Structure 1
Amino acid sequence: MKNYLFALFCVSISQLINGQVVLNSDGPGDTYQLINSVFANPNRNVVEAPDCSHSDFGNHIDEVFDTDLNKNVFRFHIHVSPDNDRCKKFDRQRNEIKSYSDSPENLKAEKGETVEYRWKFKLPENFKTSSDFTHIHQLKVVGGPYASIPMISFTLRKGNPDKLELRYTATKKQNTLKTVSLDLFKGNWVEVIEFVKFDDVGSYSVIIKRISDDKEIFNYSNSPLDTWQDGAEFARPKWGIYRSLKSKEDLQDEIVKYADFSINEIKGLLSVDVLKEKAERVLLMSNSSSEIEFKNVDDYDLVELFNNSGRKIEIENRLSDEELDVSDLTKGLYFIVFKKESEIRKVLKCYVK
């Protein structure tokens, strides 16, 4: 096989990306104007910062050159005192960016749409969080009886050890889907790729990789999953620092860095159900026998690997001498897709045990 084109992606085989929105730092100065130029229509401010209660500090989001990424990045500042939530609520603090009802249409997810969110962030090595909420990312709806509670949130929580929680609700009852030690994040730039099909019978997947060594430190996928709260008009992402002040003694002034925000509305999807229908046979594998041998590979010009939620898994460094190394994959169901001239010619359904 020649000229492999592999990419980490989700839920589809034949994919077309439409309406991509990218927000990158361009250097110090005019940070709010830059954010608004991408995430807002004219005359709308999408920055919700605690400047009103802490005006002598200046803008709570600025830009700085980062030597690890070798590029400009955004810095989100929060102070235990006197920062609050827009001078409206004083038991919490908010420094976030998001889209609004009059933001460009491709920033607002509607029912039935599939969207990829991608960004990078870095927590300080000594980052402190409390037993109450500290959100650094949310997916929330506008409209309907459940709009006050995020469907998806990345919540940082004090514990032994401190942890990042992936939280979810389709109504008002939140559940923790998965947790991971916060030590894996502190002091490290990470990249997040989040993929959501917004629907009553939708899907959700996320993968987080440490940039320094490309190590995957968190992943989760669930399909089918109710990812549309009843009565919602649209869904939107939020990034920043949103934390409770109920346990001030646990907190300190913080800076969280963000970079390379991207919102992609995905068109032309082939669902996991189609993969299952096309699957020809089952392969049983174990970690003691961690490779699949391929035969007649010259009949195909592309091989792709998908997990059970449809997220494509990068295999460029796994495939050699007609063998696919699966030793570091988590247990579960996978699909190996063989294509010729962009058409699916063969699908193998495989179990890693």
Structure 2
Amino acid sequence: MPDSRKIIHVDMDAFYASVEQRDDPSLRGRPVVVAWRGARSVVCAASYEARTFGVRSAMPAIRAERLCPEAVFVAPDFARYKAVSRQVREIFLRHTALVEPLSLDEAYLDATTTLSGLPTATATAEAIRAEIHAETALTASAGVAPNKFLAKIASDWNKPDGLFVLRPHRVEQFLTPLPVGRLPGVGQVMERRLAELGVATVGDLRALPPTELERRFGRWGRRLHELSQGIDEHPVRPERPTMQISSEDTFTGDLPLDALAPDIVRLAEKTWAGYQRELQSPRARLARTVVLKLKTSDFRILTRSLTPPAMPDSPAALGQLACEMRNRVDLPADTRYRLVGVGLSGFIDADSHAIQSGLFEADGRSP
């Protein structure tokens, strides 16, 4: 097991719910569910008190209410959560410039070499957790390991408010008894397919010949074999390039396709605002594709995308194009929709776009 890297994965404990409990003392010790009430809402976060009742993130809010009738529902305040996330990010950057945020509440850090001069990655993780608690009054769990996927598993090992260190010489022993579903990318469908091969644990997976895995699953089979051995060569990437900017909303009641225009226009304005922030960033990237997302009343998800010769130049133009993309939906006219989203994707670097445009102009062709 190579040990050239020392990776920390930091995960804030029940982040949104913990912020709410911190800022409102009356919520402390009570089952808090961060969600809007209603049959169409989903849980954004649940405190550990609520989790004991089986409440989990992404669960329908109405089900959470049935599982925990005494739960306190709090509407999410993302501006506040983002402010705390920035505080935590600043703490990370005191210790290493190699920080890869995954979301508001978790990040990978490469602590192979640190700015703080602490002797080990373990000491760095301990210092970060202590500073987070001292400066935000919140707790975080951390995992220290030789690579990213192992560090992520490790951070979940002693939650909440815990630290788990997985040293290189113990990786195989640690992984062998784990359910294969703990590996990244192995969902319920893949678990069932592996179960058909007699694979229930990572040790079972490791015992299969890599040629057999590759024959059945292609390149993903090779990746599974590497993960079973604890191999992950992906580096921590401090700046993750923008891949998509989108806004979506769930309706209070299902709507027909021809009634979605006002919501599409509204969401296009939100997406456009996010795109303008991207264009103002030091490493701005340009979108090339417009995406319309729909979810039917029976939870079927559809996406329609279009890469036009020229991108919309205003939120109104984006909204108009997204509305026109409804013509590409071929479901029955009486289909009802519970969600719509408008997005921009196909991002490329602004410099790359300028070079391509210059080539077109030199050729006498329009882009």
Q: TM-score by structure 1 length?
A: 0.22
Name the structure with the higher strand share: 1
Name the structure with the higher helix share: 2
Higher relative contact order (CA 8 A, sep 6+): 1
Q: TM-score by structure 2 length?
A: 0.21
